[in-house]
Structure 1
Amino acid sequence: MDDDARSGHAPGMQTRRRTLLAALGAGLGAGALGLPNPALAAVGSWSNPTLGTLTSGYKTPSRPGHTGWDIANSQGTPVYAAAAGTVRDIKTNSYPGDTTSGPLPGRTGNSVHLNHGDNYFSYYGHLYRVLVSVGQTISAGQLVGLMGTTGNSTGPHLHFEIHLPRLTTLDPKVFLANRGIALGSTAPLGSTGYPGVSQGASGWVPRVIQYLVRARGISVVVDGVYGPATTSAVKSFQSSRGLYADGYVGPITWTALILPLREGNSGDLVRGLQTALNARGASIPVDGGFGSVTANAVRSFQSRNGLVVDGLVGPVTWSVLI
């Protein structure tokens, strides 16, 4: 499962947009493709795991040991669960050039391995960041990580596999095409992701960013205007975390800014949460106190959006909220 993305084939697609591509795969079936028709899983809906350009394919003549497809896009592109299930294994703390194995044999860096039941499994490699934990219950289209270039990789991409049973691979492009999904093109289920925000923006999202940056000890006026002062504050935060300091808040900076929140927390992180909840229909004080009123607003938001209703604000709730 060693991987070697052809960075020269990486697309010029940018993640600085919130609207994802419209579905392109409807109506593609095995008959139209003239391809084998793997048995349908009983796990329910399937989803495209990410958006991007297909590069290295499944068991090609030049790479017969490549047991998945590579989907290339910009670092930080959201990666979603292909179906509902549980997290079987993960690997974190990998880096570009890391030669140690992950949950499966091979050198695919930070990775997530999902169990979908009925002997179906899926695998997501080379992630910049893993956003789930072992044993966690996952819904189809749920955010599981961000695309990266960790492990044996020469450019940002997702290495994606489907197994039936575990360790017995299927061609994921064929498998999804038989379900009306064009790998890399069809919009993933529930794929909201994080918005890209830069100087010149205004409104509640810049206000949330200002609260989150201020919560990390960086002085900035919370006025909802993403001007030069906010850009400078974001650059300071990015530098402090070893990120590329361009003042642009994309998926990577978002996931560095947020922290899990629960009832009993207080401060500017909570004010950012309360601001976002109000923008999504709540009507609660922005007082920095995560009490019962804020907890109820979180549960209501989670219920309306098909999330686990636990009142805890983790990466998935944050990503849908923003």
Structure 2
Amino acid sequence: MCDAPETAGLSHLPARRRTLLTALGVGVGIGVVGLPSPAMAAVAGWSNPTRGTLTSGYKSPSRPGHLGWDVANSQGTPVYATAAGTVRDIKTNSYPGDTASGPLGGRTGNSVHINHADGYFSYYGHLHRVLVSAGQQVSCGQLVGLMGTTGNSTGPHLHFEIHNPRLTSMDPRVFLANRGITLGSTAPVGSTGYPSVGQGASGWVPRVIQYLVRARGVSVVVDGVYGPGCAASVRSFQSGRGLYADGMVGPITWTALVLPLREGNSGDLVRGLQTALNARGASLLVDGGFGAVTTNAVRSFQSRNGLVVDGLVGPVTWSVLI
């Protein structure tokens, strides 16, 4: 069972343009002899459980008792059911450092255990939050939890296992690769949420983050470069709000940063909005004033993306815009 990831560091997962409520990120794989070609088509009915960086592997030489793979990303990264099934059992109310076992043996904190067809079982550990209940029917790609660092863990990651039969584990990376899925990298079925952005990124998304952080009272240079100074400012923002201070802007940090905006608002939050709208095809002056021209740009963006066209920038408009 998983304890802490073997590597605490996370590689940058750059943001990409996406359609309505589609989660983005790039997983970093680790070479394994005998894996099928990644060009193999994905088998219907199976999904990658999340996106992120592969860290601790299945029964590695240094951890032969580790029965799954760890996929690291920022706290709150969505975690999805790898296939349709029934939630066998769950654990909730765990916390970082919790020594109690989950549904399977090991200190994996908040966790979900799902029964699938043909005797398969999947297991998802160290969750920040469990979003399903025992006995619930779930579909392939259904959201089952948010990535966290509960239990024996040194940073946010998913501990993922596949068994057949139960308590007889197999390498989940190879299992998914045989179905045309690259663990941590292939887009999950039905994925939703904000992208994860960290050091090494540059361009309009880091610039938006910098405006939003500055709008929340934290000093940061707005230059579009996500360097050590930007990461330190993000950590300061996260610490001040009781979030996991990893210096990465993932789903939970995004939702803490953004606020609803409408015509008449002004300041750095609006500058962040105007920067994002310009990246999506608008030609606005980034002046921090939410006037009629910015309202028209918001309405145009909402119309193009199938959103309610009200000119108000709420959580859904923000999540599609970024």
1:47 corresponds to which letter in structure 2? N
Q: Deviations over 1:85-140 (max 9, x none)?
A: 6996876653222145657776422345678899976432113x449677999874
Tell me the TM-score normalised to structure 2 length: 0.56
Q: Deviations over 1:19-74 (max 9, x none)?
A: 73577799945xxxxxxxxxx9863x52263431343449xx964xx7x5132647
Structure 2 counterpart of 1:211, which letter? Y
| Structure 1 equivalent of residue 21 of structure 2 | none
1:306-317 pair list within 5 angstroms: 313=315
Quick check: 1:287 aligned with 2:293? Answer: no
Q: Among 18, 21, 26, which residue is 1:20 paired with?
A: 26
Rate the CA distance shift 1:103–1:214 in 2: closer, same or farther, 3 A.
farther
Equivalent-residue separation in structure 2 for 1:119 and 1:73 (angstroms): 28
Residue 306 of structure 1 aligns with which residue?
none
| TM-score, length of structure 1 as denominator length | 0.56
CA drift at 1:240: 1.1
Q: Residue 68 of structure 2 aligns with which residue?
A: 69
In the alignment, is residue 195 of structure 1 matched against residue 197 of structure 2?
Answer: yes
The answer to whether the aligner puts 1:208 opposite 2:208 as a matched pair is yes
Query: Aligned ranges for residues 153-302 of structure 1 at < 5 Å?
Result: 153=153, 157-162=157-162, 171=170, 172-183=172-183, 187-189=186-188, 193-197=195-199, 203-216=203-216, 218=217, 224=223, 234=234, 236-242=236-242, 248-251=247-250, 254-255=253-254, 257-259=256-258, 269=269, 272-273=272-273, 275-281=275-281, 287=290, 294=298, 297-298=301-302, 300-301=304-305
Match of 2:47 in 1: 46
Give the secondary structure class of the aligned counterpart of 1:196: coil
Q: CA separation in 1, counterparts of 2:130 and 2:295?
A: 26
Q: Percent identity?
A: 44
Between the two proteins, the alignment pairs up a number of residues equal to 285
5 Å-filtered alignment, 1:30-179, equals 43=45, 45-47=46-48, 49-50=50-51, 51-57=53-59, 63=65, 68-71=67-70, 73=72, 76=75, 78=77, 80-81=79-80, 83=82, 94-100=94-100, 107-111=107-111, 122-127=122-127, 129-130=128-129, 140=141, 145-146=146-147, 148-153=148-153, 157-162=157-162, 171=170, 172-179=172-179
Deviations 1:138-161 (A, max 9, x none): 874989633x54213466643213
Q: Distance in 2 between matches of 1:272 and 1:86?
A: 41
Separation (CA, whole Å) in 2 of partners of 1:250 and 1:221: 14
Unpaired segments ≥5 residues, structure 2 = 15-24, 37-41, 308-312
Tell me which residue corresponds to 2:18. Answer: none
